[in-house]
Structure 1
Amino acid sequence: MRILLRLCMIVALACAPAFVPSAALAAGGPQVLVVTTGNGAQDVADYALERLQMEARRWNFTLIEGGPEDLEHLGRYDVVMFVNTGADFLDEAQQESVETFVKQGGGLIATNSAVQSEMDWTWYHETLSATALPPPEAATEEAVTFNSGSQVTDGLNEELKLTEHWYRFDPAPAQPGSTILAQLGSGEAVAWVNEELPVFYASPGGEGKTWGDRDFLKLIRQAIWWGAGEEGAMVQNSEDAAPSWPYTLTFALFVVAVAGGGSIAVWRLDKAETEKEAAATQA
């Protein structure tokens, strides 16, 4: 019994950090507003949001799900994401708000069908630097290769295979104006950034399975970090990281309470067993 109690104490102490935020989480990170309005497949959008929320918790940024109305007030955000957005979902005031936000240094991340959003919004499409042709009806598996030398593709060295309805572009993004980060074997660009503004686009993301691919998620989270103007390496939250004040005090009090309670329980058990042994000896 005494061994069992001590084991329980150890387990409780080991689990204690789960009750308090890690140091990295307490420190905060980029604030990201994500919009999926008008997407063509809600199940894909929901799964993308689920995966992005997991990435946010793990990699120290905050993801806020919103709609077009939230784009009118972007002062609290570092990055805006258009994830698989529909054709027309913004009014002129919202477009102007996003344009001002980006021109002042805010990041813009767009995926998949967002390249065909708001076709009358001249600034947006000039900033993306490409015009998408209608995607094919059939999805195909293609190999994606990454170009080195960018913060966004750091660590992405292996070929990535994804099944998508692949967009083709005419005109295609090209220098000057854009830096291609990834392409198909045919040379077709699938991810790039604007060379003057913190704007990133990736054509994959129309299929749910893509959002479950760890390398694709790495590309997206590093694009978020880059778009937020973060120059240092991403900080991964760790469950066993030492919590910062005021969580340190909470953690210490929790440890003292568990240790004290456990010690009393063990003492009482020892006393009871000692009395039991004494009674047996006298008998």
Structure 2
Amino acid sequence: MRRRIPALLLSLALCAGVPEAAAADRVLVFTRTEGWRHDSIPAAVDTLRRLGDELGLRVDHSEDPGAFAPANLARYRVVVFASTTGDVLDDAQQAAMEGFVRGGGGFVGIHSAADTEYGWPWYGGLVGAYFRRHPPGLQTARVRFETPGVLTDGEAWRVTDELYDFRRNPRGQVRVIATLDTRDHTRGGMGPDHPIAWCHAYGGGHAWYTGLGHDEAVYADPVFRRHLARGLRYAAGAAEGC
């Protein structure tokens, strides 16, 4: 059964601060890298801590793969892979993560979470699509949200970040949250439909991913912060939509 944070509690937390009783709900933010390491990782962790405070979620940060043991993961509602890269878990730790999701745990992947664990097919299904390439440097493009809640209907958000192409278009296997406007992003390689964020039910739990989050500056953007907050709420079981 999917574990839930009471929706009323989260709504109150968003509007009026966090009750002390909400601190029992926990998030593990994992940032181990075995490849490229993003300078924005501290900003990602700090932003997730602040969002956790707003949502009544206690956020723990670790780069220790030993945290992926069944007894330890049982303490958490959500695991976030924030700009991880490469092979970050061994076989036993991978099995523990699979068991966590199978038991209803939530997953959030940020940016190079899609550049992680290429040899673990279950994880590839969880994150939704693997990274393929990106144009050199930062790109500026409009992001159009396909689900309500971050912007008003029809509104677009202009963002400057490292914009990923993926090995496949995940549409059809996931619910796409946001796409890049390819009239702006002419150096992308995914054709006219370029998903950049999505969510889905997976393996007993729920997973949410955004390809944004490379550049430190984006974490100060209120639109991106609302985007991340919706991801945490969805993965934590507080919202059906993402």
| Residue 232 of structure 1: how far off its partner (Å) | 8.8
| Residue aligning to 2:230 | 222
Greater strand proportion: 2
Structure 1 residue 182: deviation in Å?
0.3
Distance in 2 (alpha carbons) for counterparts of 1:232 and 1:140: 32
For residue 21 of structure 2, what is the aligned residue in structure 1? 27
Local SS of the residue matching 1:57: helix
The reply on whether 1:40 has 2:36 as its aligned counterpart is yes
Q: 1:42 Cα shift?
A: 5.1
Task: Return the alpha-carbon distance in structure 2 between the equivalents of residues 100 and 58 of structure 1.
Answer: 28
Q: CA–CA distance in 1 between the matches of 2:240 and 2:21?
A: 15
User: What is the alpha-carbon distance in structure 2 between the residues aligned to residue 23 and residue 217 of structure 1?
Assistant: 17
User: 1:221 Cα deviation (Å)?
Assistant: 1.4
Partner of 1:163 in structure 2?
160
CA distance in 1, matches of 2:197, 2:41: 19
* Separation in structure 1 between the aligned mates of residue 48 and residue 235 of structure 2, nearest angstrom: 15
- Give the Cα–Cα distance (whole angstroms) in 2 for the partners of residues 132 and 60 of structure 1: 32
Partner of 1:259: none
Identity of aligned residues (%): 26
**Residue 198 (str. 1) matches residue 206 (str. 2):** yes
Counterpart of 1:189, as a letter, is: P
Aligned residues: 207
Amino acid at match of 2:226: K
Q: Given the two structures, how large is their TM-score scaled by the length of structure 1?
A: 0.68
Contact in 1 for aligned 2:198/2:210 (Cα 8 Å): yes
Moved over 3 A (4+): 39-43
Residue equivalent to 1:127: 126
Higher helix content, 1 or 2: 1
Tell me, what secondary structure is at the counterpart of 2:217? helix
Is the contact between residue 127 and residue 207 of structure 2 (CA under 8 Å) also seen in structure 1?
yes
Q: Post-superposition shift, 1:41? A: 4.1
Superposition pairs of residues 54-203 of structure 1, within 5 angstroms: 54-67=50-63, 68-72=65-69, 73-148=72-147, 153-157=148-152, 158-175=155-172, 177-186=173-182, 187-196=193-202, 197-203=205-211
Residue aligned with 2:19, SS: helix
Show structure 2 runs of 5+ residues with no match.
1-15, 183-192
- In structure 1, the partner of 2:6 is none
Q: Secondary structure at the match of 2:132?
A: coil
- Deviations along 1:2-31, one digit per CA (max 9) or x if unpaired, are xxxxxxxxxxxxxxxxxxxx8733121531
1:74 CA drift (Å): 0.3
Q: Which residue of 2 aligns with 1:4?
A: none
Structure 1, unmatched stretches of 5+, are 1-21, 234-283
What root-mean-square deviation, in Å, do the aligned CA atoms of Structure 1 and Structure 2 show? 2.1
Offset from partner CA, 1:98-147 (integer Å, 9 cap, x none): 11111211000001111010110110102333232122222111110111
Q: Which secondary structure state, in structure 2, belongs to the residue aligned with residue 126 of structure 1?
A: helix
TM-score normalised over the length of structure 2: 0.79
